[in-house]
Amino acid sequence: MASPNLSKSPTVDRKPPPAHLYELSTYGAFNRRLVLGFNGVQKIMVTGTSLRASKEALRLTRIYPGMLYSTAGKPLNRDVMPDMSCAKESRYKNKLCKFIHTLYIAHFMLSGIQPHDAKSWEEGYMEELRDVAASPECVAIGVCGLDYNRDFSPPDVQREVFEKQIQLACELHKPLLVHERDSHEDLLEILDKYKDQLPLVVIHCFTGTAEEAQRYLDKGMYIGLTGYLCKDKSDTGVRKLLEDGVIPLERLLVETDSPFMYPNTKASKLPQHVKDGLTKRSLMFLTRYCSFQRNEPCSLPTIVEMIAAFMKKPPEEVALSTAFNALKVFGLSQ
């Protein structure tokens, strides 16, 4: 199999729009962001962080079918996923090469209530959220979870709303996209209540320690990484777990978390060997489209190249593995 080339993005008939659209203001600017050349991103997940945002995410996925998806979507059907241990592996991986520049966590439509918006939960929300989540365009439940760092919603309310969404994910058999800040123990305690029926879980935009990552991995969860790599300055954080090989490639997903977590490639704390591993093409897209350090889908190849440098692996290997993981976790078509 020929190695995929990160210096060239695949040809697509319709250039895809930005990914991971968090705020309604972002949705409003969506059509204005349909510019040429988003570095080959082909599939995008639009996350719902509130009931209103989840409905808007679903609307967008219906405008751009096959390109946009949302959280709260089609569950993984393991019976139809390819057997990577058989002779079909080479043929399937060749098809995956076309995904090398896709949104590696494949941002599709997600429905959920983020911890910051947990206080907005009202009677009747579950029924409305279930209607959105049951849509075929919705591929996961989330972003949901716990955030004790900012406490925009009371912790007891966050825990209650998070548990309701776990129950919805179990009911619909859809993956769970989880947000966690300074709440590791409480989050695991709640998830453990449902360990016998819990669907696949992705720890979204992981910013914790290597020890916390290991506990998630031990429970069969996936880790999503972003441009936070440029901000991490700790000796036990994201960079450390990549350098020490704590996260196996088969459990890694790459995401933008746009418009946040811009990969600042000029950060003083970013090691020189990582900066040297960045290609001119990926840097060009950052300069051209990520104005005022607003993150965009085109940043994904840069993030992949940084991860590869920290792991001392070829970028093509990281891209291929994370693309396949996205297909598998969210049950996406090729």
The pLDDT tens digits of the residues spanning 69-85 come to 777 522 223 232 223 33
Taking 90 as the threshold, does the pLDDT of residue 60 lie above it? Answer: no
194: containing domain: 36-77+102-113+123-330
273 is in an annotated binding site: no
- Please report whether residue 89 resides in a domain: no
Domain count, the chain: 1
**Contact of 151 with 173, CB cutoff 8 Å:** no
Interhelix angle 280-289/300-311, nearest 10 degrees? 140
**Residue at 66 is within a domain:** yes
The verdict on whether residue 244 carries a ligand-binding annotation is no
Is 30 within a domain? no
Q: Does residue 19 lie in a domain region? A: no
- What's the pTM? 0.78
Question: Is residue 267 assigned to a domain?
Answer: yes
Does the pLDDT of residue 185 top 60, yes or no?
A: yes
Q: Is 179 annotated in some ligand binding site? A: yes
41 belongs to a structural domain: yes
102 against 146, higher pLDDT: 146
Please name the residue ranges forming H helices in the chain: 24-28, 51-63, 89-96, 125-133, 155-172, 184-192, 210-218, 238-243, 272-276, 280-289, 300-311, 315-330
Residue 153 lies in a domain: yes
Burial (CB count <10 Å: 0-12, 13-18, 19+), residue 244: exposed
Q: Is residue 48 part of a domain?
A: yes
Q: Give residue for tokens 């965009």.
A: 296
Domain containing 192 — which CATH number? 3.20.20.140
- Helix, strand, coil tally for the chain in percent (to 5): 45, 10, 45
Label residue 218 left, alpha or beta by phi (over 0 means left) and psi (-120 to 50 means alpha).
alpha
pLDDT at 218 over 50: yes
Across 12-39, average pLDDT = 39
Residue 157 reports pLDDT greater than 50: yes
